[in-house]
A and B are shown apart, each in its own frame.
Chain A
Amino acid sequence: MHPAYSVILFTTASGAGYGLLCLMGLGAVSGALPPDRLLGFLGLGLALALITTGLLSSTFHLGHPERAWRALSQWRSSWLSREGVLAVATYVPAGVLGIGWAILGRTDGVFAAAGIAAAVLAPLTVFVTGMIYQSLPTIRQWHQPLTAPVYVALALATGAVLLALLLAALGSGVHLPASLAAMLLAIAAALKLSYWRAIDTAPPLASPGTATGLGRFGTVHQLEAPHSQANFVMREMGFTVARKHALKLRRFVLLALLAAPFGLCLLASALSGASATLALLLAAISTSLGVVTERWLFFAEAEHVVMNFYGGGPA
């Protein structure tokens, strides 16, 4: 599948934003995070900025962005519509929590309720984003039970690194948030490795023979394409990445998104002050590069069954 940069930016930026929002909500409700105005302003501000940037960039690839509001209407059948509804709905508790925390310096009462709602809706929105891909029966690498869980795990892990960095920069103790980030990174790594194992062993959906139904007469290969130049279907669905490059990029994802920030978070949990901030800053930069690569690869490795009509390899 063609990796659309607007969608990569959307899913990674809003993913980290929703992850951060979820953890801020949980921290506020549990009392793990103090009702400090600056923390509330910076934490929720960063989360909402990432979410909003992502949502806006997701409209860039639309043919008619001015009609985007219509996408809220078909939540009964469409995961994309459900994502839109949840994304809009999440702004409500996030905004209430923001008013309480950043302006009034309170995270109790109605603001605590908003914190719980935000902590539930934020990861749910990310899960539903993952379901857009997971629900497509045409793409073997996406139609996997781990697709949406990986989206949620990576959102929480990248959000946790940002929260730890923020707390370190504000001079708070980072032992707990940095350890939490390391734990969430480890969970995301385990899920992503299982996901890769699953897509590497899943049988192809079809072959040129089964797609055309002509396999019973012998091997099917394309003699002549219907058009001299690539059409929309080939440009959108025909993107493939060489196996050896994919393996290299997978190693980079494991290192930059998961292993390196895991080590840096563990290191930071034992440090304090500027050295902890520096370690977490490096971890945040590393996860950002890693998660963008991970999302690019998620598209590039996905093979659409339609390419069998174009004589492509099994998909």
Chain B
Amino acid sequence: MTSLPAPQPKKLGLVIDLDICVGCQACATSCKEWNAQGYSAPLVDEDPYGADPRGPWLNRVHTYEVGEGDAARTVHFPRSCLHCETPACVTVCPTGASYKRAEDGIVLVNPDTCIGCKLCSWACPYGAREYDHLDGVMKKCTLCVDRIYNENFAAEDRVPACVRACPTGARAFGDLGDPESAVSKNVAARGGYDLMPELGYKPTNKYLPPREKRTGTPHPVAGTAATPAPTGSPVESLFAWIDRALSGQMPSNDGPN
């Protein structure tokens, strides 16, 4: 059924901290690796090492320059499915292959019933869906539905692959429908926001804005303290002579002794 389920309390999603993302692409490659063998498999790249590589990736990291002059900053911006509450990508699907799970809000594509008409990708304002030409079906972020409930995994691994891979902790996974969850509290504290809320898709994933830039004089950098003065010991003089000799500088009258 591509009609949407009635709103449920549980809304699993991601919170992405634009302040600390360093744009390392670990989330994107980890996502690709996991999903090339999991729910979205196959997730094949054509001509991967050639001149024109192409293939579906479920997570893409943009890098933007924001602001001008001294106020300019670099912001790395991971972009994947936001698991919206009212996703038009689901309701436009003619076959029922696209659906939103009632129990946790995850938006999925059933690869066995998708006809590959691509209309859902037109309906998504966030570019979250990428068509797989080799598989003939649409691919998208599954919120690693095949990891997060996997009881064979250690507790710390029951998170999406992108979250597990992030070396800076810029990605967090949790229940955004629960105001007491860690992710919800962080969103409230940091002013987390929706992407393009005016379009009415009600994204579940939230973005934490970059913090204000620090102003004023920079802190002194460690290691710039003055080096100790020479003591004038014979050993020190010997090494100074060797140093000059090896550098091709013979001792001269005007040089320091």
Contacts and interface: CB of A to CB of B under 8 A. Distances in A.
The answer to whether A and B come from one shared complex is: yes
Interface of A: 1, 61-65, 67-68, 70-74, 76-81, 84, 132, 135-139, 205-206, 208, 210-214, 216-233, 236-237, 304-306, 309-311
Contacts of B133: 63
Given A62-B115, A138-B124, A74 B64 contact: no
Residue among A68, A138, A229 with most chain B CB within 10 A: A138
A59 B17 CA distance: 42
Interface of B: 1-4, 18, 23, 28, 52-54, 56-57, 60-68, 71-75, 77, 79, 88, 90-97, 113-119, 121-127, 130-133, 135-137, 193-196, 198-200, 207, 209-210
A9 B196 CA distance: 34
Contacts of B64: 208, 212, 214, 220-223, 311
Contacts of A132: 92, 119
B3 A84 contact: no
B114 A305 contact: no
B113 A223 contact: no
A304 B95 contact: no
Contacts of B3: 74, 76-77
B66 A219 contact: yes
B74 A237 contact: no
Contacts of A226: 28, 57, 60-62, 79
Contacts of B117: 61-63, 71, 80
B130 A231 contact: yes
Given A76-B2, A217-B67, 20 more contacts: A61-B118, A63-B115, A63-B118, A70-B115, A74-B93, A74-B95, A76-B3, A84-B94, A136-B88, A138-B199, A213-B209, A214-B209, A217-B75, A218-B66, A218-B68, A220-B66, A222-B64, A225-B62, A231-B57, A232-B54
B114 A136 contact: no
A219 to B, nearest CB: 6
Nearest to A225: B62
Q: Chain B binding site: helix, strand, loop or mixed by DSSP?
A: loop
A304 B126 CA distance: 10
A60 B195 CA distance: 34
Contacts of A67: 95, 113-115
Given A63-B131, A70-B113, A223-B74, A232 B67 contact: no
Contacts of B92: 77-80, 132, 135-136
A292 to B, nearest CB: 21
A296 B199 CA distance: 26
Given A81-B94, A229-B53, A231-B57, A71 B126 contact: no
Given A211-B196, A213-B207, A219-B68, A306 B94 contact: no
A63 B136 contact: yes
6 contacts: A70-B113, A74-B95, A74-B96, A135-B88, A306-B124, A309-B79
B121 A80 contact: no
Contact of B196 (A206, A227, A310): A206
A78 B89 CA distance: 10
Contact of B54 (A135, A231, A310, A311): A231
Residue among A71, A217, A304 with most chain B CB within 10 A: A217
A223 B67 CA distance: 12
B67 A138 contact: no
Contacts of B77: 212, 214, 309
Contact of B195 (A62, A79, A212): A212
A300 to B, nearest CB: 15
B131 A232 contact: yes
A67 to B, nearest CB: 5
A216 B71 CA distance: 12
A237 B119 contact: no
A315 to B, nearest CB: 10
A138 B65 CA distance: 25
A1 B209 CA distance: 31
B7 to A, nearest CB: 16
B91 A77 contact: yes
A25 B98 CA distance: 38
Contacts of B57: 226-227, 231
A205 B199 contact: yes
B122 A139 contact: yes
A65 B125 CA distance: 26
B95 A70 contact: yes
A68 B92 CA distance: 15
Contacts of A135: 88, 92
Residue among A79, A230, A232, A305 with most chain B CB within 10 A: A232
Residue among B56, B60, B207 with most chain A CB within 10 A: B60
Residue among B118, B127, B210 with most chain A CB within 10 A: B127
B72 A218 contact: yes
Contacts of A73: 94-96
10 shortest interchain CB distances as A-B pairs: A63-B116, A63-B136, A218-B67, A226-B60, A81-B94, A71-B94, A70-B95, A224-B63, A306-B127, A80-B94
A144 B121 CA distance: 19
Given A227-B60, A231-B54, A136 B2 contact: no
Contacts of B210: 214, 217
